[in-house]
Amino acid sequence: MTQADPIPLVDLKSAHAEIADEVAAGFQKVLATTGFIGGPEVAAFEEEFAAFGGVRHCVGVANGTDAVELALRAAGVRQGDEVVLPANTFIASAGAVARAGAVPVLVDCDPDSYLIDVQAALAAVGPRTAAVLPVHLYGQHAPVEELTEKLAGSNVRVIEDAAQCQGATRNGRGAGSGTGAIAATSFYPGKNLGAYGDGGAVVTDDADMAKTVRAIANHGGLTKYSHDLVGFNSRLDALQATVLRSKLRRLPAWNAARRAAAARYAELLADVPGIALPATLTDNEHVWHLYVVRIDAFDGDRDRRDALVGNLNAQGIGAGVHYPAALHQTPAFSHLGYPEGSFPNAEAAAARIVSLPLHPHLTAAQQERVAEAFTAALG
């Protein structure tokens, strides 16, 4: 490794190298049977992922966005209902709400954890609210228990967007295991548990909701040519399931490596002025999907932040921004009509945050180089 070697934001090649033999054997097995959709590999993965997360049911689906939409639909969200969600999340959270026919109602985030502001979410619940969709952003759970407690007994469901937190827990529990009614996750390749293509899953303790997800995702029926409701096609395929089974066995070790890397960054960057390092909420086991640092030294000057990211990228360091715009600042959701200034914490974060490379195969030497370059770029 020379100084010039690039340091990617995520390193899928090193992850593949660990499991290449298993993946080849898994693909051979599927190719021999030509059972490409569903089948024993998918069923085995669903069982293993449910056990891993401490939930009763897992339904593999085609991608994370579908998973969120299916969770919303299974939880009873209907055309014209409102769904409360944070203004700062990946676009897909809101896209899924819109595709379910519901209206996204945005709320601000906590200024330091960037997780949904629970008080604001509760205040946004009204007569048309069908669900609150907290997003477990960057690898740690949003503090949902106050939401679940206060909304218990009402018609408002807590549905978790768990796309970024495979393996994370809060008070020892994983997403969908009673923390919310139902949770959706994504196996996009760059996620902590990533497929070799698209994939996703819905997890829940509720057998009826799991059944509904499975039916909607399979043309509205649980058996071939029975169609109880209008559904669509969103299924996990067997090749992806073999990859996911192999990666799931490594996930605890890979998440531990991410935690160690996060601790190392915290040490390396502890004395750098003008930045705020990411923190872990009490009661959370963080899995560090992203390592997000806030730059306060630039006073919210987005151009200077972007220049810093460009500077790091020019040195081969895969820094990024997750995400450069809050939902109401994107053209796709401008029709919701929230003016600039509506969500000060989310807007401040969008202008100030930087994600530094973090993945299970990151070395201490690479982190030292990132920390040095980042500190120099801050000026």
Binding stretches for ligand PLP (CB under 6 A): 63-65, 68, 89-90, 92-93, 135, 161, 163-164, 186, 188, 198, 200
- CB 376 to ligand PLP: min, Å: 30
DSSP structural state of residue 335: G
Query: Residue with the closest Cβ to ligand PLP?
Result: 64
Structure token pair of residue 120? 């604001």
Nearer Cβ to ligand PLP, position 7 or 137?
A: 137
- CB 200 to ligand PLP: min, Å: 5
Nearer Cβ to ligand PLP, position 64 or 143?
A: 64
Nearer Cβ to ligand PLP, position 7 or 71?
A: 71
- CB 317 to ligand PLP: min, Å: 22
- CB 162 to ligand PLP: min, Å: 8
Nearer Cβ to ligand PLP, position 141 or 304?
A: 141
* CA distance linking residue 336 with residue 13, whole number of Å: 40
Comparing C-alpha atoms, which of 188, 173, 172 is closest to residue 68? 188
Asked if 75 and 181 count as a contact pair (C-beta separation under 8 A), the reply is yes
**How far is residue 263 from each of residues 88, 108, 272, 287, measured CA to CA in Å?**
25, 28, 15, 12
Nearer Cβ to ligand PLP, position 104 or 200?
A: 200
Q: Locate tokens 């954890």: which residue?
A: 113
Length of the chain: 379
Q: Which amino acid is at 6?
A: P
Nearer Cβ to ligand PLP, position 209 or 236?
A: 236
Structure token pair of residue 343? 């969500």
Using the CB atoms, write b or e for 222-257: b if 16+ within 10 Å. eeeeeeeeebeebbbbbbbbbbbbbbbebbeebbeb
Q: Locate tokens 């100084």: which residue?
A: 3
Asked if 158 and 142 count as a contact pair (C-beta separation under 8 A), the reply is no
Q: Using DSSP, state whether 375 is helix, strand or coil.
A: helix
- CB 241 to ligand PLP: min, Å: 15
DSSP structural state of residue 257: H
Nearer Cβ to ligand PLP, position 90 or 338?
A: 90
- As a 3-state breakdown, the chain gives helix, strand, coil percent values, each rounded to 5, of 40, 15, 40
Nearer Cβ to ligand PLP, position 65 or 246?
A: 65
Show Cβ contacts of residue 150 under 8 Å, excluding neighbours closer than 6 positions: 122
